[in-house]
Every structure is written in C-alpha cells, then in structure tokens.
Amino acid sequence: MPNIKDKFSGFKSGFVAIVGAPNVGKSTLLNQILGEKISITSKKPQTTRNRILGVVHRPRSQLVFIDTPGIHKAKRPLNIRIVETALSALGNVDIVLVMIDVANPDPESEDFLVEKLKKIKQPVVLVLNKTDLVKKPLLLTIIDKWSKAHSFEAIIPVSAILGTQIEELIESMEALLPQGPPFFPEDTLTDLPERFFAAEMIREKVFRLTGQEIPYSTAVTIDSFSQEKKGALVKIHATIHVERTSQKGMIIGKNGSKLKMIGTEARKEIEQMVGTKVFLKIFVRVHKNWGKDTKALRKFGY
C-alpha cells in the first residue's frame, strides 16, 4: 500500500489571500472560482466583514482561498476591526492575490494597499477586475501603471462576474504554490459552519434590500439552529441587531413588509445551502451604538 508521500508526490497546495479595496469584487471572484456561493455580495462596499475560506480541488493541487474584507483607511471601531481582519490574513499565506476594480478606481485605498504590499514577502498576483466595463486602450494603460507600482508575479485581467480569464488566473497561482499534500479532504468547500452562512445570508439581504446607513449599522446573530422532523426541517431563530430605534422601524417596514421580504429571500438561499425545508424566524433588536462597543463587537463575532 503506497504511503502518503508517494500518493502526493509532486502535489502542490497552499493558502491564497484575496485582498483589495472595498467593493472591487473579491467575494464574486471567490464564488466564481469555487463554482458555489459561499461569500455574500452586494453593490454596497464593505459587505464582507469576516474572513471566508474556500477550497479549490485540482487534479495535482489544492488552493485554499481566503476572502478578506475591503482594505481601507478606517476610523470607526467596527471598520478598524474589519481592516485588521483583512491584514491579519496576509501573514500566513503562500500567495497574495491583490484585486483592483479597473472601472471604478479608488486611489486612496489603492495607495494604502500599495504601502502594505511593501512589507509582504510572499509572491503577489494582481487581478484587474471588471475588464468587461472598460475599453482595451484604457486597460493597457492601467496594466502599465500597475506593473511599475510593484513587482507582481503576474498581472491577470479578469471579469469575475462573467468568469473571463478565471482559469488563466488559477493556473498562474498554481505555478506559484509550494509542494505538499492537501490541507483539506476532497469534499471540503469551506471550514465555516452552516449557522455562520445562515447569518451571512440574512445580512446580505439587509444590505441588498435596505438603503442609507442601515446595512452598516446591522449585525446578525443566530440564536438557535436545529434539525427537526428527522432532518426534514431546519429551524432557525435569528436576530438582526441595529444601533437605533429608528433603524429598527426601517428594517421591519410598514406592517412588517421589509422584514418579511428579508426573511423570505434569506430562507430560500439557506434552503439551497442545507438541502431541506427551513423555518426561519427573525427578530430585530436595538443594541445602542454596538459598532463602537468593543464588547458588542466581540459578541457579534468581529
């Protein structure tokens, strides 16, 4: 019987951190690479708050991607925690994947990121996203600009939402991976529990279905997550936490219409994830100024 060294001879594996400014498409890219939705998305910046891990299995390699929150100059305690989460991922990975939005540049965040890259010893691959939204001459100018900004191992133009050049991107990273056996079994997609994703799916609907400052003032916790009727039903009680009473009313909506919409949309996605019927009950509670409260930040998982 062959031993583990023989079985994985020539095999490559490693961790890849996806970093960039808020709203450049990092979560969309991870979902596209995996072929599964594990990272929530919206058109609003700073949707991702936690590090999300996704595993890609290839015939002779395994890439473990870490989707990080958007890196920016933060002032609010919650946003400082979010940026710290993103930066902490850089110290323990084999490859850093830096993502830029070519259609909507963010010079301040990009300059901040370039400063951080100076301290990185790992190989860095640059991904130029949303290339479907710009003309080729402009894209060539952007490639030239970034090639002078840092010594990247590769610069790959992609469209994360359309899946353009994704295979080329994976191959460029595969070439940079160190040799070693896989970190996760072949059927592993992520290391996070279902209740985490249930909370994230609810929070995504808050981001997508509410306006103004509401999404940034909300956190979601799962109070209970249980299987009933011999696994034929998953019962979930969740809480949306807001900072002010006025925000509670906006989340609930007239006659509960907004909360019902959030619950219905989230329940459908959670049912797809767990593969069975879901009963979802959502409460809304005021936790005054929780985004500035370090105890609350810890309680809500930040």
Kindly state whether residue 181 falls inside one of the protein's structural domains: no
Query: In this predicted model, what pLDDT tens digit does every residue of 168-208 receive, in sequence order?
Result: 999 999 999 999 999 999 888 888 888 888 998 998 899 88
pLDDT (mean) for 220-236: 90
pLDDT in tens, 107-137: 888 888 888 788 888 999 999 999 999 999 9
Q: What is the pTM of this model?
A: 0.73
Q: Say whether pLDDT at 155 is over 80.
A: yes
Residue 203 shares a structural domain with residue 109: no
Query: Could you list the residue range(s) of the whole structural domain that residue 261 is in?
Result: 194-299
Residue 142: give its domain's CATH number: 3.40.50.300
Please tell me the total count of domains within the chain: 2
How confident is residue 1, by pLDDT bands cut at 50, 70 and 90?
very low
Output the average pLDDT for the chain.
86
**Secondary structure, 3-state, the chain:** CCCHHHHCCCCEEEEEEEEECCCCCHHHHHHHHHCCCCCCCCCCCCCCCCCEEEEEEECCEEEEEEECCCCCCCCCHHHHHHHHHHHHHHHHCCEEEEEEECCCCCHHHHHHHHHHHCCCCCCEEEEEECHHHCCHHHHHHHHHHHHHHCCCCEEEECECCCCECHHHHHHHHHCCCCECCCCCCCCCCCCCCHHHHHHHHHHHHHHHHCCCCHHHHCEEEEEEEEEECCCCEEEEEEEEEECCHHHHHHHHCHHHHHHHHHHHHHHHHHHHHHCCEEEEEEEEEECCCHHHCHHHHHHCCC
State whether 152 and 9 are in the same domain: yes
Residue 138: inside a domain, yes or no?
yes
**Residue 244 lies inside a defined structural domain of this protein:** yes
